[in-house]
Amino acid sequence: MIKILVIHGPNLNLLGKREPAIYGRVTLDGINRMLKSMAKKRGVGLVIKQSNLEGRIVDFIQQAKKNKFQGILINPAAYTHTSVALRDSIASCGLLTVEVHLSNIYSREEFRHKSLVSPVAKGTVLGFGARSYTLGLEALIDLIEAQ
Mark whether 101 is an active-site residue.
yes
- Nearest of 67, 144, 82 to residue 112 by alpha carbon: 82
Active-site entry in 8, 79, 101, 133: 101
- Nearest of 30, 40, 44, 52 to residue 102 by alpha carbon: 30
Mark whether 133 is an active-site residue.
no
Active-site entry in 8, 23, 79, 133: 23
Contact 130, 24 (CB under 8 A): yes
Catalytic residues: 23, 101
